[in-house]
Chains A and B, each alone.
Chain A
Amino acid sequence: MHFDLDAGQRELQSALTRFCHDLFPVAVARESGEKGLDRGLWRRLADMGVFALALPDSDGGAGLTVVEQVLAFEVLGAGLVPGPIVGSTLAAGLVEGASTGDVVVAAVTATDGPVLVPGLRDADWLLVLHDDRVELVEAAGIHGDLVSRPLDPTSPLTRLDAIPSGEVLLLGAASDALCRTASLLTSAALLGIARRTTELATDYAKTREQYGRTIGSFQAIKHMLADMLALAEVASASVHAAGVMLADTSAEAERAVAGARVLAGKAALHNAATNVQIHGGMGFTWELDAHLYLKRARLLSVSHGNVDAAAETVATQLRGALQ
């Protein structure tokens, strides 16, 4: 057992963190939401190897596993990187040009209720994840309306009348594995938000002064920050463990992936909301980024699963393990 990042994994995260800091400041996410995805930047993201991490070397990938994908998505989530990053990562190796960033692939999990697809506006293809299969649909043939006021202004949302059907790409175990990866990479991005909002709130609490003291010296604020830290820390153990179990095709992977959504979803929503609260009046403004983390967390927390359904899955697995 060695349950911690190795040197290569740390380097992957720090290189990607620098990359996001330099090329994807939050202003880029805002602009992407308003004006459309910058395809040049998207190719730079592909050049970093983000989409092809788990592809074999022979296919131009890095030959790594879902563990490294999880670590990468933690960083991308923290950076509010725009665009359908989960879809294009799932599509690498399945859809020509996805891994190199030449085509953009969005993904949606088919559910009942209104069909709202993030990232479809900017995509060439759409992956549709069903319970038993994965289908691929050409975006140009899908008729939908762009939502004028999406909750997350950095993620364009298209409303469809129905889930579109297309070519069946995967069935059975391969389809299940893709759905689990979609869920876990989304959870990893949620974890990134949980961590980043803890840092932002802490930094603000160290500089903002009221009553002649930095607000971070008040126990009421300190304890909120400590709770954020603990939530993110425990969630990271859960998400990373699920990555290892998924890579090992462990029998417990389904419970672990669902558990990761419960932990990361709770941590991201709680921490993003607390970050707004700690920023006070400024946190309530459009100008400050605090609301963007909360809104992205809301979007991700219902993408490729949700916390309630994940909790049900864990409960069902728990009962199954007892029989």
Chain B
Amino acid sequence: MELKDSEADAQFRKELRVWLADVVPSLPSPPDPRDRWASRRFDETWQRLQYDAGYAGIAWPKAHGGRGATPTEHLIFLEELARADAPDVGCGFVGQGHAGPTLIAEGSDEQRAEHLPGILDGTKVWCQGFSEPGAGSDLAGLRTRAVRDGDEYVVTGQKIWTSFAQVADYCELLVRTDPDAPKHKGITWLILPMSSPGIEVRELVTLQGEAEFAETYLDEVRVPVANRVGEENDGWRVAMVTLSFERGTAFVPEMLESLRLVEDLARLSERLRRGRGPAWEDAGIRRELGTVAAELDALWALTKRNVTRGESGTVPIVGGSSFKLYYADVRHRLGDLAMRVLDQAGLVLEDLPDLTVGRHVEGSLHAFAVSIAAGSSQVQRNILAERVLGLPKER
């Protein structure tokens, strides 16, 4: 058991630090996130810099234009980006984390050649058309219909939580091609160009007051059969390949951000008063700060173990789902703690003069995204109970 970098990993980290120290300060200041197109341009600039430096597609195989980094190098990459306060992946998230890896695993040579370069250099943006109003946790219950008409599919239905749909070039779309088959057996995976006629994108405002998501309405949208990834009615399996990428290191950047939130909260607790003294002097507050920090440290250690186990090819269901379930719980308690420390300063979703509180108030609301998205905490408990502990299936 070893936590230190190997010589090669230490070298990788050192080179990355040198590059980040050079490039991050040169970036323009990030635009207002409500300006979606400006955000897209900013994300593209950042991605292009990574591309030119050889860090784009960090975990993708070299044969497909990636860097072919080991899982450990990938983790170091994410750790150092957070440490350098580098921008997050932004609107490149779906392309780099989901659509690209799916095309690498299941796409045709033509599909890869057409789409992978644009994902890597940041010029093409993807969104995800999986969930529907009636298909959330039960994703396989999706009903968006695709009817074959010659060498095209005609697609009609509604998708939800399609982040970045407002600015996306493509959508990774799950459709029902056989309504009579058992629900997992009638689904097909399509590449949908967002410029196709018949698509309407409506912004969906979250409880954080931001239009982070969108609803996407599809009205007889024609998609070439050549845009199908995998076989017709085999889309569930293809989608599971995609989802398996979502449970590995997907939460690492925001978990590292959580560690910085708790550090910042410790600082704030010395400045904000609670009763007769600073909040830090309140033993209840101090213990909860220590508890949350210890738990985030533990989750970081668990991530390292998951990544180590992933190196030898074992998919750590117990580690992945335990991480997701526990992390969501810690995020909620961190949010509650922040609100206790901030007291009335927690009543605003923006910074106060001399007091950067906005990120903590936002964070307390963001906790719900963590416990609901990518397999809700209740779904994670079912996974742990049924697939790890071997308890009887729900049905």
Contact = CB atoms under 8 A, between A and B. Distances in A.
Contacts of B313: none
Interface string A1-29: 11111100100000000000000000000
Nearest to B262: A318
Interface in B208-234: none
Contacts of A245: 3
A244 interface: yes
B266 interface: yes
Nearest to A227: B381
Interface string B384-395: 111011111010
B301 interface: yes
Nearest to B384: A226
B308 A235 contact: no
B389 A234 contact: no
A237 B306 CA distance: 10
A262 B287 CA distance: 10
A214 interface: yes
Contacts of A219: 382, 394
B2 A312 contact: no
A140 interface: no
A312 B309 CA distance: 32
B5 A1 contact: yes
A313 interface: yes
A229 B383 CA distance: 11
B322 A230 contact: yes
Nearest to B5: A1
Nearest to A238: B298
Contacts of B72: 1
A308 B1 contact: no
A139 B300 CA distance: 43
Interface in B256-295: 262-263, 266-267, 270, 280, 283, 286-291, 293-295
Contacts of B294: 238, 255, 258-259, 262-263, 310-311, 314
Looking at chain A's contact residues, the main secondary structure is: helix
Given A222-B385, A223-B381, A3 B2 contact: yes
A256 interface: yes
Interface residues of A, number: 53
B388 A229 contact: yes
Nearest to A315: B290
Nearest to B289: A315
Contact of B389 (A225, A240, A259, A310): A225
A213 B392 CA distance: 10
Contacts of B319: 233
Interface string A188-232: 000000000000001001100000011011010011011101110
Contact of B267 (A202, A231, A322): A322
B299 interface: yes
B321 interface: yes
Contacts of A222: 381-382, 385-386, 389, 391
16 contacts: A1-B3, A3-B2, A214-B392, A225-B391, A226-B380, A230-B322, A233-B326, A235-B298, A237-B305, A241-B304, A244-B3, A259-B298, A262-B294, A314-B290, A315-B293, A321-B263
Cβ-closest 4 pairs across A and B: A315-B290, A259-B294, A238-B298, A314-B290
